[in-house]
């Protein structure tokens, strides 16, 4: 018994040490960024209108894409969790494609369907919607690379809901849509909200696809890249530090909301 306790202790110490290395690997670059950035330079970045506009653009476009595509992603996630159908594995694989392919390639793929030469681009222009060099294009690029996170999280959440509860409600006369909104969605809400947060966060940080679809107006990641290539690390650090701080603050707030829900 003592030997077993010692083995567990050594295992726990080893795992803790290995896990600590991972945490250090994540925290060290972020901490180094703030240690190498003065408060004055961050204050100057806050006062820079171009920086403020880019941060705001990143925030609202990523949130708009998440909200818009959630109306399509959540029903799809429910179907994947509850129904078996031919080529279901293929559908799940297609959903994960944006995670696998390089994001520069993702940007080119999205650009291909948004140009004026494509049927989708021409159809959108009929309604006065332009994508290239427009926030609408940024929303599409962000949503493309981030939507798998919402679908996968929501699918797992719906799969964890006991199906017998839905069947009982149906036998008592509730309609399928009422069962979805009163039983399935409320019980899977935490997973859906987690996927919502992950989709928003992934879209917020997107660079490769966005810069191809819409270099202007500049999102924060694009502006950081431009300042780094044009002026060097000294001028890009304050913008990066400010953007990361804003993202972390909002992310923490959303996580607290999820915890209380």
Rounded mean pLDDT, 245-256: 86
* pLDDT tens by residue, 21-79: 999 999 999 998 888 888 999 899 999 999 999 999 999 999 999 999 999 999 999 99
pLDDT higher than threshold 90 for residue 219: yes
Write out the DSSP string of the chain: -HHHHHHHHHHHHHHHHHHHHHHHHHHHHHHHHHHTS-HHHHHHHHH-HHHHHHHHHHHHHHHHHHHHHHHHHHHHHHHHHH---TTHHHHHHHHHHHHHS-HHHHHHHHHHHHSTTSHHHHHHHHTT---TTSHHHHHHHHHHHHHHHHHHHHHHHHHHS-HHHHHHHHHTT--HHHHIIIIIHHHHHHHHHHHHHHHHHHHHT--HHHHHH--SSPPHHHHHHHHHHHH-HHHHHHHHHHHHHHHHHHHHHHHHHHHH-
Q: What is the pTM of this model?
A: 0.88
The arrangement of secondary structure in 49-260, i.e. its CATH architecture, is: Orthogonal Bundle (1.10)
Model confidence at 3: pLDDT above 70: no
Work out the mean pLDDT of the chain and round it to a whole number: 90
- Domain spans of the chain? 1-35, 49-260
pLDDT in tens, 186-212: 999 999 999 999 999 999 999 999 999
Does the structure show a pLDDT above 60 at 143? yes
């Amino acid at each position: 018994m003592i030997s077993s306790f010692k083995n567990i202790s050594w295992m726990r110490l080893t795992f803790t040490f290995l896990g600590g290395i991972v945490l250090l690997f994540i925290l060290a670059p972020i901490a180094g960024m703030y240690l190498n950035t003065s408060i004055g330079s961050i204050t100057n970045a806050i006062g820079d209108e171009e920086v403020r506009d880019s941060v705001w653009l990143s925030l609202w476009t990523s949130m708009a894409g998440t909200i818009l595509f959630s109306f399509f992603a959540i029903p799809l996630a429910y179907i994947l969790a509850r129904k078996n159908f031919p080529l279901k594995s293929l559908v799940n694989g297609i959903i994960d494609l944006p995670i696998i392919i390089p994001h520069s390639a993702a940007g080119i793929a999205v650009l291909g369907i948004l140009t004026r030469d494509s049927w989708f681009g021409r159809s959108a222009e009929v309604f006065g919607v332009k994508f290239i060099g427009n926030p609408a294009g940024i929303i599409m690029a962000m949503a493309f690379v981030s939507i798998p996170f919402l679908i996968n999280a929501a699918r797992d959440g719906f799969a964890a809901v006991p199906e017998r509860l839905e069947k009982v409600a149906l036998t008592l006369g509730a309609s399928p849509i009422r069962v979805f909104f009163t039983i399935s969605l409320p019980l899977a809400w935490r997973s859906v909200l987690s996927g919502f947060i992950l989709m928003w966060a992934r879209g917020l940080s997107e660079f490769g696809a966005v810069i191809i679809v819409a270099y202007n107006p500049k999102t924060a990641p694009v502006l950081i890249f431009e300042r780094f290539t044009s002026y060097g690390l000294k001028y890009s650090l304050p913008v990066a530090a400010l953007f990361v701080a804003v993202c972390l603050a909002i992310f923490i707030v959303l996580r607290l909301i999820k915890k209380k829900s």
